[in-house]
Every structure is written in structure tokens, then in C-alpha cells.
Amino acid sequence: AQKITQTQPGMFVQEKEAVTLDCTYDTSDQSYGLFWYKQPSSGEMIFLIYQGSYDEQNATEGRYSLNFQKARKSANLVISASQLGDSAMYFCAMVPFGSSNTGKLIFGQGTTLQVKP
């Protein structure tokens, strides 16, 4: 079964500090993609970072980095130097590629991050 698990319903972080949002996944596919999205209260899904299962290096995008540990099937998001605008809900998601990239995402439960001034 394909599944994404985010075990932290809510997280607090002090402004300017780093925070790690946990994500573990389960899939039998050898090829898959892992995504992190930010969803503010407006509802839009903002793409943050992508990691392919065959990518050897951890993905980084500005203040976002993905700690990819394939053997442990974890894909934690690290946000450095937190800003007040980072307060939002964060989703980890996966696309098992199978024979092709269909774009069908499987989402975790989400983590609500609140940045304290």
C-alpha cells in the first residue's frame, strides 16, 4: 500500500530558528517522487521542494532542504531561519511512478507550523 505519514499535527518554532517537519512514506515502487507543499490559509498549494527516489543528493531550495533517507523511507523537510510568513500547513506527498508519471499525489495528514515572533 502507498502511504505518507506525518506524525506532527502541530509544531511551534521561534522566529529565525530552524525546524524539521517529519515525513515517512511507504511504497513498493522503486521509482517515485517526494514533494513538500505549503498551504496558507488562502488554500493555495505552494510547491516547496522535490526529491526523486534516484536522486543521490538531498534537494535544497533556498531555506528549504529535504533530508532524504531512502533506507528509512523518510523525507523530512528542514526550514532554516524561520520567518513569520512560514506559518501555514505543510504537506508531504508522494507520486509512485510505476510505469509512468501520472501525477497522482498521495498526501500525508499535514503539519500545522506556527512561527512565534
Partner 1 sequence: GAVVSQHPSRVICKSGTSVKIECRSLDFQATTMFWYRQFPKQSLMLMATSNEGSKATYEQGVEKDKFLINHASLTLSTLTVTSAHPEDSSFYICSAATDRVGGNTIYFGEGSWLTVV
Residue 100 CA to residue 38 CA, distance in Å, equals: 26
Q: Given the complex with partner 1, which of 51 and 76 has the nearer CB atom?
A: 51
Binding status of residue 108 toward partner 1 by CB under 8 A: yes
Please report how close the Cβ of residue 84 comes to partner 1 at its closest, in angstroms: 20
Phi, psi of 53 (to 5 degrees): -65, -25
CB of 3 to partner 1, least distance (A): 12
Which distant-in-sequence residues (6+ apart) come within 8 Å of 54 by Cβ?
Answer: 31
Spatial separation of the C-alpha atoms in residues 64 and 96, rounded to whole Å: 23
Q: Which stretch binds partner 1 (CB under 8 A): 13-21, 45-53, 65-73, 80-88?
A: 45-53
27-46 burial string, b = 16+ CB within 10 Å, else e?
beeeebbbbbbbeeeeeeee
Binding mask 22-41 for partner 1 (x = CB under 8 A): -----------x-x------
When the beta carbons of 14 and 101 are compared against partner 1, the nearer one is 101
Binding site for partner 1 (CB under 8 A): 33, 35, 43-45, 47, 50, 52, 89, 91, 95, 101-110, 112
